[in-house]
Amino acid sequence: MDIFEAVSNEIRRKIIKLLQTPRSFSELCERLNLESSALAFHLKKLDGLITKDDKGNYVLTELGKKALSIVNMIESQNVILPEEKRVLTPVLIEYADKVIIDKGMLTKIKEENKKLIIRNVNEVIFKDDIDENLLNGVLELIENVITIKSPPNLKDIISRKSK
């Protein structure tokens, strides 16, 4: 398995990132908005990086966890990936007293193919209009935030992305 070949494809990078937690085939199809045949193709390309657990969910292997580290490093270092020819620069919000995150902000970040990192902020407020899939796809990390206010449906995503 060539890890670099696997992570050179945007869909496979998304799969690797989604598999930080076990996921079923149908959940992956839904979250990635892929037909089952397309997902099956990409899962086959990730052979050696992913496996199924005893419940039939896809999970990362030890090598897959290393691939995830590579993906995170690439994205955080603004590396240009061959397939995309585009620099992935995160949107960084830090050292603020209060930040309000709404659907419009997240949509703009997503349209620019970027991720959101929030650090060293006193208070972050997530508005009610935010879709769970949008937040999950855009929010990369929340770190050193004193107070987070969010609708109940977003709490799990925010918790997973928080350090």
40: Cβ contacts below 8 Å, ≥ 6 apart: none
Residue 94 or residue 52, greater confidence:
52
Residue 84 lies in a domain: no
**pLDDT given at position 87:** 44
Residue 25 lies in a domain: yes
The torsion of the CA quartet 26, 32, 33, 35, rounded to 10 degrees, works out to -60
Domain span including residue 54: 3-76
Residues 69 and 121 reside in one and the same domain: no
Q: Cα Rg for the chain, rounded, in angstroms?
A: 16
| CA separation for the pair 126, 136 (Å, rounded) | 13
**pLDDT given at position 125:** 95
What percentage of residues in the chain have a pLDDT greater than 90? 61
pTM of the entire predicted model: 0.48
Q: Which residues pair with 139 in a beta bridge?
A: 116
Q: Which of 76, 106, 136 is the last residue of a domain?
A: 76
**pLDDT given at position 147:** 95
Residue 100 lies in a domain: yes
pLDDT at 88 over 60: no
**pLDDT given at position 153:** 94
Sort 149 into a burial class: Cβ within 10 Å, 0-12 / 13-18 / 19+: exposed
Residues 107 and 154 reside in one and the same domain: yes
The pLDDT-based confidence of 55 (bands split at 50, 70, 90) is: very high
pLDDT at 131 over 80: yes
